[in-house]
């Protein structure tokens, strides 16, 4: 059991990193990776939401959709509805309870609804037949993988400020190329974990 | 109206200019036909959602607008999902999870929030079609590059000769990012704006 | 006293005389040792490969700079080093055109898109190699056996697949299958010592890198000497992990870099899909370098207040 | 209407409409989807059992087996699914087996996520065809009994291993030379 | 083991040009230009007018502020101008120009005070101030101010800085060889003035004759110790020196007195000794005139205010084509563009480099080799600071401690990419300070 | 199977109700006071939440804009239009040309061609850095060093460096923010009233002959301008002429008098007064003209002697009927090109 959980983490952080090998969450990856501070905040917020979503998705799948046979067509709608509301709820609660916490990561929450990692995690959980604990860990791993990608990219981008990137490549282009190189490097982990 | 349409095709092309909704643009673009199919699927969802959002824009209270828009988008996405499963099972297998993910494709919400919820129905449709097709041609272009180099084929037809060494990387994640980056760069070069004369305007 | 117009500059008014060019050509010189071993074991083919990649690297750099309208600085020798190192990382039998592609990718995507020397986040030669590795996996894993010229497996592949070790002496001298310049640990160490003596590389990176691999091997029940001598570890530790552009600047950062590279190398070698993890590990630590630099700013003189 | 009531009403109304619309679409498409799935399955079975035109499904000892028959109702072979653990994920394989002859009649890769250009070449006939006519007694050792793909030995090995291990069960149910 | 610090460099010292040459007294200048600002702190107010007759040692600039030091005429003659003149530190500074009458008459008010043993601490400090003594190690901080720590700050150690780590310069070296007793007397005066019992004279081991001379001079003295230092630049930097001698670290942004130390240059000590022995204010100093483009490199005893041109003339003029004239040493000295600037109290040397010796390499991008990081005696990250400075990121530079840079030049000296790191950091410091003032 | 439709409709409605209710409760319970402008700005933004601005989503940017931490044009995707809308919400519509608008002007003309160098400077190409090396390489210690620090700090791109190595300020773009003034180590740039067209472009307090030795266009303190000025607006102080901008009427007399061309005007042509038919012949203008350029009989339309008029505008100001306009090159005189008038 522990071994499986460990594999799930390693797989979603390194081997099948959500950004570099599953192509998920690229828009915020592109947008929020220019400063390390922001990257860390965004990463933490996403990890939090992902973990919560994983749990929520598990319950909806197992206690609403499956019993009534609604899974094939209501999955998407119900998941996204829950995610959107959850995110908004968390945002409001955090804002009220701790403005400091809100400033640290709450402000990233609205961005997360449109982060496709969240829905993808929700959809992958039924697909992979994970149980509750596995689902939670999967959500956590996805978040950590995303955070790692963000931090690496933000560090490189901060250094790039001092570089002399050709004008045409400035902005998203060089970020994509760098992401490509990072994805290439992450392929080194290919075959690390039997899946 | 025409302007709204062309805007999505070129000026604010979601992939190359606004650089948004790129996950699917990277994930499914291993072969030309995937690009076209994904593009059409998105265009459908985008257009339907834009129509509905534009119609409902005055009814929906702003506090719950995001959940509402998302439900609308999710509904249309599921419809596409079901239809693809029913009628194009082979394609469906390739695109896997990325059809459902149209829901969170940033383009859709971007246009719903940013355009359809403010503009007239007609303009919204024009905009949605422009954006959708802009997305479609962009990802088809990416697909073509990756397919030719990675498999030596174009829409499934061998074009590179028998001895062609496949560039495996092109079909793998890094290839997607690299092609995307280079194409965005080329696009920047083509559309690089001449220095604007801001002296007297 | 006549009319003089003196030169004014800010202090200091003298300079050590060290230059980028000098460093690079010294490194290139040191690389000639493993290169010589490669040519000795793999024949003329190896020499051709080295020349081709070097030319391709230099040419790519010149073309890129020309296109950008920037001064052409190929004489600083960094492209030469990249070219040679790339060749030393390739299977001796690789089709030449692939080597050219590798060199072009190394310089363009690995270096020039970031603005050229000093600004690249990743080790360009390794970017070239990994690109080739993933793009042309078959050709990149076709190894020539130096003894009889047939194709065969590298000691690490044999280890991974069959769990069989290779003679230490052979590993040390280099008459084994493998990349052109990685086989002869002896020559690499010689070159590395020269660079250490000249002060062009820092002992911390290779020291901690090799040390980590050795210790982890022992801990995980492998043969540390075999692990140290086989594959690209020596070449990587002395010539590639030490690339100053892509490694941390502080001492502590260098130590972390070495240890990290060691851990990843071991993980990939022992548990991953690839028999060898040196290139990936170094590149991965390259990616971590900005973060490391950020969090290992040294304590400055007088920073901790004295009561 | 109070703004909060309105929020709820709108949200509920939209959810309601969405639910209805989706359920309706599902009703429309579901038969077709099932049909497609069935068709795909049949196609795969036909492919691995040469000459089969029809199939019947039997459940035995926890395994689902598909028995292929030709138009005349002659049994041409049985097919079953097995899963191997490949380089980057599970590989689903449909295997055709003729107990009478004790030979494989063909295999088909149903799904896999191996590396395109490398492991993915297990899908190609060049690889799959070699299993046609192979004796089930064979050891299925890669590089010896099974031709592998250069640069990617893991995927073929996974396929071979999966076939071999599932054959162990299947040959118990339908022993070689026996009827089915 | 020789005492030293971490970081630093080993440039070629080139001290052989002058280290064996005894100090020569320069000939009386025809004209001196005496700037009213030769020290850290408020400039002096000129108290003479055009046409006034002044004598050697007469006060011509009054120090009104606490952090300031009075200025005295270095020759006798007539004041011909009181106007802004070019200053070796750059820019125009109010100066008194005196035309020599050739008589070099001593001002009447100058007489030897009581011997040291009879002077009270306050009398010593007052004498130091009235004699216009400022730090002669380069910075020119009024010495008396240093000796009067604010209440609450205690001093337990005085270090005489005899490191003279700058290449080429030998002024302190010759001083310690020729007048060791003056250096020791100065130190004794400082110790008495501050009531400190611990005195060190720290000298780099590449000056064995100076070490020998000082050792002899302190034989009979209590509480004074000789410290031999490793030869490494910037061993003479006060923070490095304190670290090497006492193991203490001056806190960031702090002063030596925060670690209970005062550092004074050997020349400063000799000037104090001179004031005690003769009552003569600071009107002359030893300067090394050297470099590859000077015909006869020398150690000269010069009058404050002598124009550079005249000093160089006395050393046989230029040899070949002079490329750069530097006041001070090659690591920290200030490049000059004209030769009619005067020598001031802090002029420890004039270095003239031949045109061919002036390195003007093209700057290339930083290769992150971290040589600068290893060389920096403050353990800063010069490369990072340089990058911040190039992009005007002043706040970031401040976060990375730009203000702690002592501008020693080590980083720029070693940089293989020839990046003017020291200048960039200096620029950053200037911006940060400007922003602070606002 | 209407059953399935029913179930799904019900469960979706339930889900919608629960979540909607949750949101309502939350938004009541956790309501937080916000600057209403944040919502307004948020409304103007495209709402893509793309994060390209470097802020976390559109609301992040909106907040930053309202708090003044981000510029109005912070949205990368939105472009000009969005920026304009945001600016108007924030009340940042451009400052406009008020009467006493100040703009930066360069008070040195000693470029590469005119000013002599005293040294061959090498090092960081920054004016401030160079000024810290022996006061800079120029012979004149007050001269513009010409590395363009000012151009670098100008947030509005109003400053460009000329071929001759002097900054040129685009007076349209200059907002008078004064950053260049603070940046310049030589205090060569000064904020001056926009209405003033005549400036002494030299700040060297060197003695006349010293200035002449280092610069062709420096003020040599000859005092010719002082003598010419009809309005007592220019004086030589500390070896350099200084204009009292309050008194100066842009008559350009001093410009003509200056032998070193140190004083410049924004225009080559002097503007001239023209009297139109509204003139009732009150003679006020004629009485006030310092140049005695207006003639005419009482109650008759007056005329300006274009030769004598020095363009000081006094008559224009004094005329009770508004009959006098200042004209330059046939157009109504204005400090700026005519096409810009509409925009203001
Ligand atoms: C990006 C990448 C993807 C790979 N994918 C596969 C794969 O799908 N299947 C496989 O068997 N080997 C794959 N490999 C190769 C394995 O890592 C391993 O080296 C190989 O299976 C060993 O086979 P060989 O003995 O024929 O060289 C891949 C390698 C790389 C670089
Ligand atoms: C405001 C101020 C007060 C100072 N007070 C003292 C002091 O009390 N004791 C002391 O040893 N030095 C004092 N100094 C001088 C410095 O320690 C130091 O000698 C001077 O800054 C030059 O050092 P440098 O030549 O190493 O740059 C003071 C400096 C300043 C600016
Ligand atoms: C890098 C550096 C090197 C220095 N080298 C010397 C030196 O060699 N000898 C010296 O007397 N002062 C040197 N100084 C100045 C000392 O830090 C310190 O200011 C001086 O010794 C104080 O004595 P003073 O006030 O009598 O000049 C150096 C300063 C710096 C920043
Ligand atoms: C000690 C040392 C090691 C180097 N190693 C590499 C290397 O592994 N790969 C490479 O492309 N360049 C290497 N270079 C050359 C150079 O640093 C490299 O081209 C830069 O990364 C280009 O910006 C090395 C240079 C030095 C001095
Ligand atoms: S000049 Fe400053 S940054 Fe450079 S080595 Fe010296 S103290 Fe360090
Ligand atoms: S010494 Fe020069 S090249 Fe090396 S890191 Fe420092 S600034 Fe960069
Ligand atoms: S005006 Fe000042 S800041 Fe601008 S270029 Fe001249 S000296 Fe530099
Ligand atoms: S322009 Fe006319 S008014 Fe102004 S200072 Fe010159 S002379 Fe005087
Ligand atoms: S499409 Fe925008 S985050 Fe995936």
All residues of chain F having their beta carbon less than 8 Å from the beta carbon of residue B201 are: 343
Comparing CB atoms, the residue among A26, A173, A187 nearest residue B172 is A187
Could you give the ipTM of this predicted complex?
0.87
Looking at the domain assignment, is residue F12 inside a domain? no
Specify whether F124 is located in the same domain as F162.
Answer: yes
Using only the alpha carbons of chain E, give its radius of gyration.
21
Please judge whether A185 and C283 are an interchain contact, meaning their C-beta atoms are less than 8 angstroms apart: yes
**C260's tokens:** 């990290």
- Between CA C76 and CA C65 the distance in angstroms is 13
Judged against a pLDDT cut of 60, whether residue F99 lies above it is answered with no
Looking at the domain assignment, is residue A96 inside a domain? yes
Torsion of Cα atoms, B121 then B123 then B127 then B133, to 10°: 80
Looking at the domain assignment, is residue A133 inside a domain? yes
For E436, counting Cβ atoms within 10 Å of its Cβ (0-12 exposed, 13-18 middle, 19+ buried), the class is exposed
Judged against a pLDDT cut of 80, whether residue F164 lies above it is answered with yes
Measured from the alpha carbon of residue F51, the closest ligand is 9
Beta strands in E205-316 (DSSP E): 224-229, 261-265, 284-290, 298-303
CB D140 within 8 A of CB D160: yes
**What sign results for the dihedral spanned by CA atoms F312, F317, F319, F321?**
positive
Please judge whether C114 and A158 are an interchain contact, meaning their C-beta atoms are less than 8 angstroms apart: no
Judged against a pLDDT cut of 70, whether residue F98 lies above it is answered with no
**E218's tokens:** 């302190």
Q: Name which residue leads in pLDDT, C286 or D112.
A: C286
Looking at the domain assignment, is residue A141 inside a domain? yes
- Between CA E57 and CA E110 the distance in angstroms is 7
Confidence of residue C305 (pLDDT cuts 50, 70, 90): very low
pLDDT of amino acid A184: 95
CA distance F107 to chain B (A): 23
Chains B and C are in contact, defined as 3 or more C-beta pairs closer than 8 angstroms:
yes
Looking at the domain assignment, is residue F110 inside a domain? yes
| Three-class DSSP category at B31 | coil
Please report, in angstroms and rounded to a whole number, the separation of the first and last CA atoms in chain C: 56
Structural domain count of chain F: 4
All residues of chain E having their beta carbon less than 8 Å from the beta carbon of residue F129 are: 423-424, 426-427
- Between CA B25 and CA B35 the distance in angstroms is 8
Torsion of Cα atoms, D19 then D25 then D28 then D29, to 10°: -120
Say yes or no: D87 contacts chain A, CB-CB below 8 A.
Answer: yes
- Between CA F242 and CA F254 the distance in angstroms is 11
Let me know how long chain A is. Answer: 195
Find the angle CA(C273)-CA(C279)-CA(C284) to the nearest 5 degrees.
90
Question: Which stretch of DSSP H or E encloses residue C8?
Answer: strand C7-8
- Between CA E241 and CA E248 the distance in angstroms is 10
**Strands C151-152 and C143-144, bridge-based pairing:** antiparallel
> How do residues F262-295 score in pLDDT, each as one tens digit?
999 888 888 888 888 888 888 888 888 888 889 8
Confidence of residue C133 (pLDDT cuts 50, 70, 90): very high
- Of the candidates F6, F185, F174, F47, the one whose C-alpha atom is nearest the C-alpha of residue F108 is F185
Please judge whether C6 and F119 are an interchain contact, meaning their C-beta atoms are less than 8 angstroms apart: yes
pLDDT of amino acid F167: 95
CA distance C249 to chain E (A): 5
Alpha carbon E181 to its chain's center: 20
Is the CB of F167 within 6 Å of ligand 7? yes
Please report, in angstroms and rounded to a whole number, the separation of the first and last CA atoms in chain A: 14
Judged against a pLDDT cut of 50, whether residue F94 lies above it is answered with no
* CATH number for F304: 3.30.70.3270
pLDDT of amino acid C264: 96
pLDDT of amino acid A194: 62
Residues in chain E where the model's pLDDT stays below 70: 1, 438
Please judge whether D18 and B87 are an interchain contact, meaning their C-beta atoms are less than 8 angstroms apart: no
Residue after which a domain boundary falls, among F174, F195, F216: F195
Looking at the domain assignment, is residue A149 inside a domain? yes
Say yes or no: A85 contacts chain F, CB-CB below 8 A.
Answer: yes
- Of the candidates C160, B99, D92, B176, the one whose C-alpha atom is nearest the C-alpha of residue A187 is B176
Is the CB of E408 within 6 Å of ligand 5? yes
**A193's tokens:** 């974990």
| Three-class DSSP category at A76 | helix
Packing angle, helices C78-88 and C124-135, rounded to 10? 40
Residue after which a domain boundary falls, among F53, F78, F96: F96
Specify whether F255 is located in the same domain as F228.
Answer: yes
CB F124 within 8 A of CB F185: no
Looking at the domain assignment, is residue F180 inside a domain? yes
pLDDT of amino acid A173: 94
Residue after which a domain boundary falls, among F195, F221, F238: F195
The CA-atom distances, in angstroms, between B186 and each of A174, C60, F269 are 12, 18, 50
Confidence of residue F53 (pLDDT cuts 50, 70, 90): low
Is the CB of E164 within 6 Å of ligand 3? yes
* CATH number for F52: 1.10.15
- CB neighbours (10 Å) of residue C229? 26
Let me know how long chain B is. Answer: 201
Looking at the domain assignment, is residue A18 inside a domain? no
Per-10-residue mean pLDDT of chain A, 195 residues long, equals: 87 90 87 86 88 92 86 85 81 75 67 80 88 94 95 95 90 94 93 68
Comparing CB atoms, the residue among C273, C283, C293 nearest residue A190 is C273
> How do residues C255-303 score in pLDDT, each as one tens digit?
999 999 999 999 999 988 888 899 999 999 999 999 999 999 999 988 7
Question: Which of A104-113, D154-163, F34-43, F148-157 is the least confident region?
Answer: A104-113
Specify whether F297 is located in the same domain as F325.
Answer: yes
> How do residues B20-71 score in pLDDT, each as one tens digit?
888 888 888 988 888 998 999 999 999 999 999 999 888 888 777 778 888 8
> How do residues F191-222 score in pLDDT, each as one tens digit?
999 888 899 999 999 988 899 999 999 999 99
Comparing CB atoms, the residue among D117, D151, D154 nearest residue C141 is D151
C-alpha B144 to ligand 2 mean position (Å):
70
> How do residues C72-103 score in pLDDT, each as one tens digit?
999 999 999 999 999 999 999 899 999 999 99
CA distance A191 to chain C (A): 4
- Of the candidates F256, F231, F225, the one whose C-alpha atom is nearest the C-alpha of residue F245 is F231
**Strands E261-265 and E157-162, bridge-based pairing:** parallel
Find the angle CA(F238)-CA(F241)-CA(F245) to the nearest 5 degrees.
120
pLDDT of amino acid D175: 85
Instruction: Annotate E134-172 with b (16+ C-beta within 10 A) or e (fewer).
Output: bbbbbebbbbbbbbbbeeeeebebbbbbbbbbbbbbbbb
Scan residues 33-72 of C and list those with Cβ closer than 8 Å to E. none
Phi-psi region of F237 (alpha: psi -120 to 50; beta: other; left: phi over 0): beta
Confidence of residue C13 (pLDDT cuts 50, 70, 90): very high
pLDDT of amino acid B169: 92
Looking at the domain assignment, is residue A164 inside a domain? no
Looking at the domain assignment, is residue A181 inside a domain? no
Confidence of residue C1 (pLDDT cuts 50, 70, 90): very low
- CB neighbours (10 Å) of residue B10? 14
- Of the candidates E88, E81, E79, the one whose C-alpha atom is nearest the C-alpha of residue E37 is E88
Please judge whether A96 and F30 are an interchain contact, meaning their C-beta atoms are less than 8 angstroms apart: yes
Comparing CB atoms, the residue among B67, B77, B97 nearest residue A81 is B67
**What sign results for the dihedral spanned by CA atoms F168, F172, F173, F176?**
positive
Range of the domain at A131: 24-154
Residues in CB range of A113: below 8 A, 6 or more apart: A83, A84, A87, A88, B66, B70, B104, B109, F49
Specify whether F106 is located in the same domain as F154.
Answer: yes
Which of E321, E333, E337 is the best substitution to test chain F (most F C-beta atoms within 10 A)? E337
CA distance F322 to chain B (A): 30
Phi-psi region of E276 (alpha: psi -120 to 50; beta: other; left: phi over 0): alpha
> How do residues D1-56 score in pLDDT, each as one tens digit?
677 788 888 888 888 888 888 888 888 888 888 888 888 888 889 888 988 888 88
Say yes or no: A167 contacts chain E, CB-CB below 8 A.
Answer: no
Structural domain count of chain A: 1
Using only the alpha carbons of chain F, give its radius of gyration.
30
Looking at the domain assignment, is residue A139 inside a domain? yes
C-alpha E153 to ligand 2 mean position (Å):
13
- Of the candidates C278, C249, C287, C261, the one whose C-alpha atom is nearest the C-alpha of residue C121 is C287
All residues of chain C having their beta carbon less than 8 Å from the beta carbon of residue A192 are: 267-268, 271-273
Torsion of Cα atoms, D47 then D48 then D54 then D58, to 10°: -140
* CATH number for F127: 3.30.70.20
Residues in CB range of C230: below 8 A, 6 or more apart: C154, C155, C156, C159, C166, C171, C178
Range of the domain at F115: 100-195
Instruction: Report the share of chain C in percent with pLDDT over 90.
Output: 74
Looking at the domain assignment, is residue F144 inside a domain? yes
Q: Give me the DSSP letters along E159-175.
A: EEEE---SSS--HHHHH
Backbone angles phi, psi at E432, to 5 degrees: -65, -45
Specify whether F110 is located in the same domain as F187.
Answer: yes
Looking at the domain assignment, is residue F25 inside a domain? no
C-alpha E235 to ligand 3 mean position (Å):
9
Tens of pLDDT, residue by residue, chain B (201 residues): 788 898 888 888 888 988 888 888 888 898 888 899 899 999 999 999 999 999 988 888 877 777 888 888 899 999 998 888 888 888 887 776 778 888 878 788 888 888 888 889 999 999 999 999 999 999 999 999 999 998 888 988 888 887 888 898 998 999 999 999 999 999 988 876 543 333 333
Give chain F's contact residues with D (Cβ, < 8 Å): 1, 4-5, 7-13, 15-17, 19-21, 23-24, 27-28
Comparing CB atoms, the residue among F8, F22, F52 nearest residue A31 is F52
Judged against a pLDDT cut of 60, whether residue F338 lies above it is answered with no
pLDDT of amino acid F186: 93
């Amino acid at each position: 059991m522990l071994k499986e959980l460990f594999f799930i983490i390693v797989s979603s952080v390194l081997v099948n990193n959500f950004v570099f090998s599953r192509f998920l969450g690229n828009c915020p990856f592109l947008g929020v990776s220019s400063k390390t501070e922001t990257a860390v905040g965004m990463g933490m917020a996403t990890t939090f939401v992902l973990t919560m979503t994983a749990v929520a998705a598990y319950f909806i799948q197992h206690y609403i959709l499956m019993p009534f046979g609604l899974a094939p067509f209501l999955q998407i709608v119900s998941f996204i509805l829950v995610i959107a509301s959850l995110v908004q709820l968390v945002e409001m609660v955090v804002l009220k309870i701790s403005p400091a916490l809100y400033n640290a990561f709450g402000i990233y929450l609205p961005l997360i609804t449109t982060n496709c990692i969240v829905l993808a995690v929700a959809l992958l959980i039924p697909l992979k037949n994970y149980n509750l604990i596995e689902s939670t860990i999967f959500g956590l791993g996805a978040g950590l993988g995303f955070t790692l990608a963000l931090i690496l990219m933000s560090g490189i981008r901060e250094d790039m400020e001092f570089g002399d990137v050709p004008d045409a490549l400035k902005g998203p282009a060089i970020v994509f190329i760098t992401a490509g190189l990072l994805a290439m490097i992450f392929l080194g982990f290919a075959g690390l974990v039997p899946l | 109206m025409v302007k709204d349409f062309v805007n999505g095709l070129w000026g604010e092309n979601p992939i190359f200019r606004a650089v948004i909704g790129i996950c699917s643009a990277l994930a499914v673009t291993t072969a030309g036909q995937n690009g076209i199919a994904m593009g059409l699927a998105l265009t459908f969802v985008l257009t339907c959602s834009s129509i509905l959002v534009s119609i409902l824009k005055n009814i929906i209270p702003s506090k719950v607008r995001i959940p509402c828009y998302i439900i609308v988008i999710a509904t249309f996405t599921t419809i596409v999902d079901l239809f693809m499963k029913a009628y194009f099972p082979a394609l469906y297998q390739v695109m896997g999870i990325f059809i459902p993910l149209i829901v969170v494709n940033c383009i859709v919400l971007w246009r719903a929030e940013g355009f359809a919820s403010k503009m007239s129905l007609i303009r919204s449709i024009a905009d949605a079609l422009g954006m959708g097709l802009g997305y479609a041609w962009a990802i088809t272009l990416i697909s073509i590059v990756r397919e030719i180099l990675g498999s030596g084929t174009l829409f499934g037809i061998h074009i590179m000769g028998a001895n062609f060494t496949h560039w495996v990387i092109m079909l793998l994640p890094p290839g997607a990012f690299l092609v995307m980056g280079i194409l965005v760069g080329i696009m920047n070069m083509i559309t690089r704006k001449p220095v604007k004369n801001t002296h007297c305007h | 006293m006549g009319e003089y117009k003196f030169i004014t500059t800010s202090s200091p008014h003298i300079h050590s005389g060290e230059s980028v060019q000098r460093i690079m050509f010294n490194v290139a010189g040191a690389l000639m040792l493993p290169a010589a071993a490669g040519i000795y074991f793999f024949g003329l083919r190896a020499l051709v490969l080295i020349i081709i990649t070097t030319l391709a690297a230099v040419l790519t750099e010149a073309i890129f700079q020309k296109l950008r309208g920037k001064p052409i600085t190929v004489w600083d020798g960094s492209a030469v080093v990249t070219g040679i190192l790339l060749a030393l990382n390739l299977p001796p039998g690789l089709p030449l055109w692939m080597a050219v592609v590798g060199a072009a990718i190394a310089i363009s995507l690995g270096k020039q898109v970031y603005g050229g020397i000093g600004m690249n986040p990743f080790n360009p030669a390794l970017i070239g190699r990994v690109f080739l590795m993933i793009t042309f996996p078959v050709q990149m894993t076709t190894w020539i056996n130096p003894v009889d010229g047939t194709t065969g497996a590298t000691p690490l592949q044999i280890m991974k697949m069959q769990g069989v070790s290779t003679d230490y002496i052979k590993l040390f001298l280099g008459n084994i299958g493998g990349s052109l310049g990685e086989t002869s640990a002896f020559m690499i160490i010689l070159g590395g010592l020269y660079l250490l003596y000249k002060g062009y590389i820092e002992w911390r990176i290779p020291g901690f890198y090799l040390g980590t691999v050795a210790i982890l091997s022992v801990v995980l029940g492998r043969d540390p000497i075999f692990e140290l001598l086989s594959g690209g570890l020596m070449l990587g530790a002395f010539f590639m992990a030490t690339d100053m552009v892509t490694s941390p600047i502080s001492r502590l950062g260098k130590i972390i870099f070495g240890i990290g590279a060691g851990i990843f190398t071991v993980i990939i070698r022992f548990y991953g899909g690839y028999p060898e993890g040196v290139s990936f590990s170094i590149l991965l630590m390259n990616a971590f370098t900005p973060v490391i630099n950020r969090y290992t700013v040294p304590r400055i003189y007088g920073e901790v207040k004295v009561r | 209407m109070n703004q909060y009531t309105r929020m709820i009403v709108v949200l509920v109304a939209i959810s309601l409409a969405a639910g209805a619309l989706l359920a309706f679409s599902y009703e429309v498409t579901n038969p077709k989807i099932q049909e497609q799935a069935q068709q795909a399955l049949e196609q795969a079975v036909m492919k691995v059992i040469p000459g089969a035109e029809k199939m019947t499904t039997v459940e035995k000892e926890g395994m689902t087996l598909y028995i292929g028959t030709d138009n005349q109702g002659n049994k041409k072979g049985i097919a079953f699914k097995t899963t191997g653990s490949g380089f980057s994920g599970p590989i689903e394989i449909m295997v055709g087996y003729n107990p009478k002859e004790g030979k494989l009649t063909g295999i088909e890769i149903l799904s896999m996520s191996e590396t395109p250009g490398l492991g993915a070449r297990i899908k190609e006939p060049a690889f799959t065809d070699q299993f046609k006519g192979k004796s089930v007694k064979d050891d299925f050792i890669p590089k010896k009994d099974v031709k592998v793909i250069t640069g990617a030995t893991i995927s073929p090995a996974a396929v071979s291993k999966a076939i071999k291990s599932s054959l162990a069960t299947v040959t118990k149910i339908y022993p070689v030379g026996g009827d089915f | 083991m020789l005492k030293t610090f971490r970081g630093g460099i080993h440039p070629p010292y080139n001290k052989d040009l002058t280290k064996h040459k005894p100090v020569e007294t320069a000939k009386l200048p025809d004209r001196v230009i005496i700037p009213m600002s030769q020290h850290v702190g408020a400039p002096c107010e000129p108290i003479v007018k055009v046409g006034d007759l002044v004598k050697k040692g007469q006060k011509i600039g009054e120090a009104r502020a606490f952090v300031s030091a009075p200025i005295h005429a270095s020759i006798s003659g007539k004041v011909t101008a009181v106007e802004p003149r070019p200053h070796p530190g750059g820019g125009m500074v109010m100066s008194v120009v005196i035309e020599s009458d050739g008589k070099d008459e001593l001002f009447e008010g100058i007489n030897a005070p009581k011997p040291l043993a009879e002077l009270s601490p306050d009398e010593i400090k007052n004498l130091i101030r009235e004699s216009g003594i400022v730090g002669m190690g380069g910075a020119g901080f009024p010495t008396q101010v240093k000796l009067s720590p604010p209440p609450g700050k205690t001093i337990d150690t005085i270090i005489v800085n005899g490191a003279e780590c700058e290449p080429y310069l030998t002024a302190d070296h010759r001083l310690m060889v020729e007048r060791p007793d003056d250096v020791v007397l100065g130190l004794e005066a400082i110790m008495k003035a501050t009531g400190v019992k611990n005195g060190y004279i720290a000298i780099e081991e590449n000056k064995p004759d100076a070490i020998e001379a000082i050792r002899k001079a302190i034989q009979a003295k209590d509480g004074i110790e000789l410290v031999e230092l490793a030869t490494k630049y910037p061993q003479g930097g006060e923070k490095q020196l304190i670290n090497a001698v006492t193991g203490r670290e001056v806190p960031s942004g702090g002063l030596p007195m925060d670690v209970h130390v005062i550092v004074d240059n050997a020349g400063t000590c000799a000037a104090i000794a001179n004031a005690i022995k003769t009552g003569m204010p600071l009107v002359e100093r030893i300067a090394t005139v050297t470099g590859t483009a000077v015909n006869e490199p020398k150690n000269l005893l010069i009058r404050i205010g002598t124009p550079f041109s005249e000093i160089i003339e006395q050393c046989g003029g230029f040899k070949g084509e002079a490329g750069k004239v530097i006041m001070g040493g090659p690591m920290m000295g200030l490049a000059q563009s004209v030769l009619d600037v005067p020598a001031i109290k802090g002029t420890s040397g004039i270095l003239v480099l031949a045109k061919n010796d002036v390195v003007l390499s093209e700057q290339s991008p930083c290769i992150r080799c971290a040589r600068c990081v290893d060389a920096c005696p403050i353990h800063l990250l010069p490369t990072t600071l340089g990058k911040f400075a190039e992009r005007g990121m002043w706040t970031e530079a401040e976060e990375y401690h730009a203000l702690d840079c002592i501008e020693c030049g080590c980083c720029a000296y070693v940089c293989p990419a020839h990046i003017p790191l020291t200048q960039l950091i200096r620029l950053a410091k200037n911006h940060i300070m400007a922003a602070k003032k606002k | 199977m209407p059953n399935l439709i029913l179930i799904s409709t019900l469960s979706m409605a339930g889900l919608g109700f629960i979540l909607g209710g949750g949101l309502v409760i939350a938004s009541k319970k956790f309501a937080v006071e916000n600057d209403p402008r944040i919502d307004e700005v948020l409304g103007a933004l495209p709402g893509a939440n793309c994060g390209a601005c470097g802020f976390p989503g559109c609301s992040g940017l909106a907040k930053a804009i309202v708090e003044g931490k981000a510029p109005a044009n912070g949205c990368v995707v939105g472009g000009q239009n969005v920026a304009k809308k945001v600016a108007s919400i924030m009340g940042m519509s451009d400052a406009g040309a008020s009467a006493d608008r100040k703009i930066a002007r360069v008070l040195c003309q000693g470029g590469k061609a005119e000013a002599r160098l005293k040294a061959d400077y090498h090092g960081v190409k920054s004016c401030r850095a160079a000024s810290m090396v022996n006061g800079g390489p120029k012979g004149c210690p007050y001269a513009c060093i010409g590395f363009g620090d000012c151009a670098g700090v100008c947030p509005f791109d109003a400053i460009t460096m000329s071929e001759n190595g002097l900054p040129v300020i685009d007076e349209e773009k200059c907002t008078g923010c004064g950053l260049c003034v603070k940046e310049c180590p030589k205090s060569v740039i000064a904020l001056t009233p926009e209405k003033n067209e005549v400036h002494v472009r030299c700040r060297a307090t060197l003695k006349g002959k010293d200035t002449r030795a280092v610069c062709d266009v420096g003020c040599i303190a000859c005092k010719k301008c002082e003598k010419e000025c009809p309005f007592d607006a220019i004086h030589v102080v500390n070896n350099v002429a200084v204009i009292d901008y309050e008194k100066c009427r842009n008559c350009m007399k001093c410009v003509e008098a200056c032998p070193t061309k140190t004083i410049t005007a924004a225009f080559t042509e002097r503007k001239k007064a023209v009297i139109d038919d509204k003139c009732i012949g009150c003679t006020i203008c004629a009485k006030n003209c310092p140049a005695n350029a207006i003639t005419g009989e009482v109650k008759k339309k007056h005329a300006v002697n274009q030769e004598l008029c020095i363009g000081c505008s006094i008559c224009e100001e004094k005329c009770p009927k508004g009959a006098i306009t200042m004209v330059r090159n046939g157009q109504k005189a204005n400090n700026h090109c005519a096409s810009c008038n509409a925009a203001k």
